[in-house]
Amino acid sequence: MAARLGGRSGGGDDLEVNHEINVTPFIDVMLVLLIIFMVAAPLATVDLGVDLPASAVEPQPRPDKPVFVTVKPDLTIAVGEDIIPRDTLSGALDAATKNNKDERIFLRADKVVSYGDLMEVMNLLRNAGYLKIALVGLDGRTSAP
């Protein structure tokens, strides 16, 4: 049994040239790249919810009874006026916010507190379930005459 290649009736080794591009390998490469970017994109984003307004904007209105968490120069933590141990921060915030995890927590720290120590307190707040954190600072805007 012999098969004929091509449309000619005569025998010979001439094959027809196929001018179509096989796009399957290109699609495979694109799908692999898509998967790589889908995995890498969440790793490239910052996963810490902090509201930091620009220094030139008007101050945000304060709630009636804001909840302040203060980091003192000796790294003690206070909720409102009460100094508390670090391991009881979650319970103290639950009492101050009446267990409302959506309430904004105003975090303030002394100038001498290092960035790493401030991040530890922010991680404690996050682990306690409080994701809305506002950093408190002095108003550095100059007033125009």
Query: What CATH number should be reported for the domain holding residue 121?
Result: 3.30.420.270
Residue 27 belongs to a domain:
no
- pLDDT (mean) for 117-145: 80
pLDDT for res 34: 93
Residue 120 belongs to a domain:
yes
Residue 99 belongs to a domain:
yes
- Split into its structural domains, the chain has a count of 1
Residue 119 belongs to a domain:
yes
Contact 110, 73 (CB under 8 A): yes
Range from 3-12, 26-35, 92-101 that averages highest in pLDDT:
26-35
Residue 145 belongs to a domain:
no
Residue 41 belongs to a domain:
no
- pLDDT (mean) for 51-79: 73
Domain holding 82, by residue range, is: 67-137
pLDDT for res 35: 92
